Amino acid sequence: MAEQLAIADQVLGRRLSNARIEKKITTTDAAKAVGITSTYLEKIERGKSNCMKVGIIYDLCRLLDLPFPYIIPCLTEKSIEEYQEELQLPPAKIS
């Protein structure tokens, strides 16, 4: 289960990061908008945060116009394989 949760954290972070980059919002601006540090946001986006607060994730979703259910991966055997494939894709790049 720990591996599944680590993958879910990475998927959540990648989806937030890609949406932020697509909207051309800097890490600093996004962090300020939801009341966290840019370092904490970077940890969330890398899936390395030890403790993600649901309220912060919700606020980030609102800022980035993402549906909250989309950002939270469903943990099933099949979905874990799909999420691993999603993580193999390169992250969004700033153009």
Residue 95 resides in a domain: no
- Residue 27 token pair: 């890490």
**pTM to 2 decimal places:** 0.77
Residue 93 resides in a domain: no
Residue 88 resides in a domain: no
Residue 35 resides in a domain: yes
CA angle (71 as vertex; 65, 94 as ends), nearest 5: 60
- Per-residue pLDDT 10s for the chain (95 aa) are 677 778 888 888 999 999 999 999 999 999 999 999 999 999 999 989 878 888 999 999 999 999 988 877 665 555 667 777 777 766 666 54
Residue 41 resides in a domain: yes
Residue 20 resides in a domain: yes
Output the 3-class SS for 20-78.
HHHCCCCHHHHHHHHCCCHHHHHHHHHCCCCCCCHHHHHHHHHHCCCCHHHHCCCCCHH
Residue 94 resides in a domain: no
Domain at 56, CATH number: 1.10.260.40
Residue 92 resides in a domain: no
Domain housing 48: 2-83
Domains identified in the chain, total number: 1
